[in-house]
Amino acid sequence: MKASIRKIVTFMEETNTEMGRAINPSTRRAAAVAVIENPYAGKYVEDLSELMTIGEELGELLTLRAVAALGIPATSVESYGKAAAVGENGEIEHAAAILHPKLGTPVRRVLGKGAALIPSSKKRGGMGVVLDIPLGHKDAAFVRSHFDGMEVRINDAPRANEIVVAVAVTDSGRPLARVGGLTKDQIKGEDGLR
Amino acid sequence: MPEVQVRKLFTAVEEIFHEGGPRSALPLRRAAALAVIHNPFAGAYVQEIASFMDDLKPLGLKMALSLVTALGGNAKAVEGYGKGAIVGAAGELEHGALWHVPGGYAMRELLGGAKAIVASTKKVGGPGTRLDVPITHINASYVRSHFDSMEVGLADAPSADEILLALVMTTGPRVHARVGGLKASEIEGEDGLR
């Protein structure tokens, strides 16, 4: 593995009630987050291909971990998202190199499908910075019940020369979704949008 | 007796490979289980609250079990533990103290009669409050390599009328422990201290 990983953290959240109403079945979402060394920390480097390869490795590793935390078959995942936070000696473009060129393909391979764009966010920050991972339905970005987000945070990362990389998956949309729009039973699943 | 109403459950697992030093052959794992429950005493001073400890016992056991599962399923692999609570604004610190017995005894029972007192902390706070849950060795509080802590918290909890309950377990010493003191191999295991 190209990535030098200091730690991996997984988070699993299960919501049973909201505003006193039972959620049945409970909605569940999980995120797997890796803290890696930034090979380009402290200097400007034109060619970011090493981080792209690292993104590919982490796409598979983190999706497997997050799905395992949900405890469901990978093909049952409904929505997904990704995010990265670069420590202060790196640049935002390092997050882009990890997230955008190659990370998505292994995510979709693990899940069996994934016609929709994987929603993403990125930032630069210090230790304990909060990442809000955007979530969207994996096969149709317009499914309104699945527009969501999951917050993750690791108190001791990223250090200045590190990058935090996160992949999130769910088995459902929001707990009590009721603002209309495209529903998941209407998905055509061809263009990734509807 | 008030029924325990659980709004959400949350699990976090950290797998730590190194912290700038030699890569550990067996990574340290730390896990936290959180439950967000309704505080039945919120909003008024209630004199008699102690019976709620019995109501919390099944939840304590469920959370302790989920931690052992998250750490690989073998209770014998667990070497450190801790617990904590965050009480929402309409409650009082004393409500957090209700967690000592059901949270602590659930873990000790599950871990085969662990001898050491379960390290703990608590506070009153709003949604997003972070809690540094202290961790010590399960059989001898003075084992210096196992003094540790894990930061927990949830963006949307506790609401004013809620309590966030936390249990934490670890599988070993700090990843680069080297400040001496009583070693795990030197435990007498009689008084829970040494």
Give the B-side interface with A, CB within 8 Å.
5-20, 130, 151, 153-155
pLDDT at B121: 94
Nearest-CA neighbor of B160 among B127, B123, B121? B127
Q: Indicate the average pLDDT of chain A.
A: 96
Largest CA-CA distance found in chain A, in angstroms, rounded: 54
pLDDT at B177: 94
Q: Which DSSP string corresponds to chain B?
A: -PPP-EEEEEEEEEEE--SSSSPPSS-EEEEEEEEEEE-TTTTS--S--TTHHHHHHHHHHHHHHHHHHHTTS-GGG--EEEEEEEE-TTS-HHHHHTTHHHHHHHHHHHTTS--SPPEEEEEE--TT--EEEEEEESS-TTBGGG-EEEEE-BTTB--TTEEEEEEEEESSS-TT--S-SB-GGG---SSS--
Of B9, B12, B19, the CB nearest to A14: B9
Residue-wise pLDDT for A132-181, tens only, equals: 999 999 999 999 999 999 999 999 999 999 999 999 999 999 999 999 99
pLDDT at A34: 98
Q: Which domains does chain A have, with CATH numbers?
A: 5-186 (3.30.1330.110)
How distant is the Cα of B116 from the closest Cα of chain A, in angstroms? Answer: 27
Nearest C-alpha in B relative to A31: B12
pLDDT at B2: 61
Residue-wise pLDDT for B1-30, tens only, equals: 568 999 999 999 999 999 999 998 899 999
Nearest C-alpha in B relative to A157: B19
Residues of B with Cβ-Cβ distance to A7 under 8 angstroms: 14-17
Q: What is the pTM of this model?
A: 0.90
Mean pLDDT, consecutive 10-residue segments, chain A of 194 residues?
95 95 96 98 96 98 98 98 97 96 97 95 96 96 95 97 98 94 92 91
Nearest-CA neighbor of A19 among B163, B8, B60, B42? B8
Q: Which domains does chain B have, with CATH numbers?
A: 6-186 (3.30.1330.110)
CA angle, A39 then A43 then A46, to 5°: 80
Q: Is the ipTM of this complex over 0.85?
A: no
Beta bridge partners of A15: A27, B8
Q: Which of B11, B71, B159 to mutate to test the interface with A (most CBs of A within 10 A)?
A: B11
pLDDT at A53: 98
Q: pLDDT below 50 — which residues of chain B?
A: none
